[in-house]
């Protein structure tokens, strides 16, 4: 039986135009998240970023995710909050302490996406070395949570069930599957490529949930949606186009080498824009392709006015969510 209310959450990268103050970006995001809770969404995840403002026209404003989430959980008493994704910026002991403290402050309302982060040019650590370090720290984190390695806080073994691993190498995927952890893929990668990693997780014996993210913007008409997201389209493609996942997909022949129109640029970076029925059709195809159990929608980008984002959120809740199907999930 398909559940009456699909497991739909919201994701916010916490990006803001470089010209905006940090406080302005945070206050706008908190206001949008309050609306998200009032609309009945299951969760809200935030991005963690450590790049400087010189990196482009916009950048992320939350380098210390647990600090922001503690504030958010206190202001929004019902919704689940999470990191998308947390990096092991410190040792596993410190990461465990931060997670466990947040779980104590907001019992059973926290989730943690955990990933390796990008390997930047000039990094002294290779991708393989970073992957090995990630697996070692992840294993240590689980030892702390279960009490196999002691902390000042009491063990919280159930917190491991609220971890979502973002990984691409076979060894890290296998570790996530072996330890019974959930799996997550983000908004910036083409679905065909993401499906390969979800299949590897399942083939390795992963029994947890698979979670995905898609970037969406809705309006009452297709023409209105396209017009309102014009600036955001160009900013987003300038930031992600021909780089990272997009460049890899082009090199593999999964995407064409050119994107000459705004519509094609949106298609190539999976920016889903239009009426609720149009976007729902594409999201259901994405859910089926990856075999997702959960989906988070990202409705906010620099270049989108706050009032347009809020209208889009209301359309997501009232018009899009009822159209989504998660065939793999059974009602509890």
Going from the C-alpha of 217 to that of each of 194, 221, 281, the distances in angstroms are 21, 11, 14
How many residues belong to the chain? 332
Determine the pLDDT at residue 54: 67
The ranges of the chain with pLDDT < 70 are: 1-6, 53-55, 89-90, 119-121, 328-332
Give every CB contact of residue 174 below 8 A, 6+ residues apart in sequence: 204
Distance CA(36)–CA(271), nearest Å, equals: 20
Q: Could you give the angle at the alpha carbon of 166 between the alpha carbons of 160 and 172, nearest 5°?
A: 80
Give every CB contact of residue 252 below 8 A, 6+ residues apart in sequence: 193
Which strand (E) or helix (H) includes residue 105? helix 92-105
Is residue 93 helix, strand or coil?
helix
Determine the pLDDT at residue 6: 56
Is residue 57 helix, strand or coil?
coil
What tokens does 145 get?
């949570």
Distance CA(258)–CA(264), nearest Å, equals: 9
Contact 90, 119 (CB under 8 A): no
DSSP character at residue 162? G
Determine the pLDDT at residue 125: 84
DSSP string, 286-302: HHHHHT-SEEEEE---T
- Class assignment of domain 8-323? alpha beta
Going from the C-alpha of 64 to that of each of 151, 165, 224, the distances in angstroms are 21, 19, 36
Contact 16, 59 (CB under 8 A): yes
DSSP E strands in the chain: the ranges are 8-12, 15-17, 43-46, 58-60, 80-87, 110-115, 163-166, 182-184, 210-218, 271-274, 294-298
Determine the pLDDT at residue 299: 95
Short-list 211, 207, 133, CA closest to 172? 133
Is residue 35 helix, strand or coil?
helix
Determine the pLDDT at residue 330: 43
Determine the pLDDT at residue 235: 96
257-273 pLDDT per residue, tens:
999 999 999 999 999 99
DSSP character at residue 321? G
Distance CA(286)–CA(281), nearest Å, equals: 9
Distance CA(280)–CA(276), nearest Å, equals: 6
Determine the pLDDT at residue 236: 96
């Amino acid at each position: 039986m398909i559940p009456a209310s699909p497991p739909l959450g919201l994701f916010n990268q916490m990006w803001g135009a470089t010209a905006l103050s940090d406080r302005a970006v945070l206050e706008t995001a908190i206001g949008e998240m309050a609306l998200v809770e009032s609309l009945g969404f299951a969760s809200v995840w935030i991005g963690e970023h450590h790049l400087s403002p010189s990196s482009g026209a916009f950048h992320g404003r939350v380098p210390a995710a647990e600090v922001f989430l503690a504030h958010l959980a206190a202001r929004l008493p019902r919704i689940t909050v999470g990191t998308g994704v947390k990096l092991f910026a410190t040792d596993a002991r410190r990461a465990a302490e931060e997670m466990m403290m947040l779980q104590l402050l907001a019992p059973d309302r926290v989730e943690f996406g955990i990933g390796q982060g990008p390997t930047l040019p000039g990094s002294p650590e290779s991708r393989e070395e970073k992957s090995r370090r990630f697996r070692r720290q992840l294993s240590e984190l689980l030892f702390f949570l279960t009490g196999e390695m002691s902390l000042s806080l009491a063990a919280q073994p159930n917190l491991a069930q609220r971890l979502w691993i973002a990984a691409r190498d076979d060894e890290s995927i296998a570790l996530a599957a072996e330890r019974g952890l959930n799996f997550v893929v983000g908004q910036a990668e083409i679905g065909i490529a993401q499906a390969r990693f979800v299949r590897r997780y399942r083939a390795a014996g992963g029994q947890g949930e698979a979670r995905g993210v898609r970037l969406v913007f809705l309006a009452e008409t297709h023409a209105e949606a396209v017009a309102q997201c014009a600036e955001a389209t160009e900013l987003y493609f300038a930031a992600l186009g021909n780089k990272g996942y997009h460049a890899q997909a082009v090199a593999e022949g999964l995407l064409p080498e050119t994107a000459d129109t705004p519509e094609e640029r949106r298609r190539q970076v999976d920016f889903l824009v239009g009426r609720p029925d149009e976007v729902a059709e594409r999201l259901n195809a994405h859910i089926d392709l990856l075999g997702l159990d959960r989906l988070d929608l990202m409705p906010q980008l620099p270049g989108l006015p706050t009032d347009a984002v809020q209208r889009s959120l209301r359309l997501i809740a009232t018009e899009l969510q009822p159209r989504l199907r998660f065939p793999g999930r059974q009602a509890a």
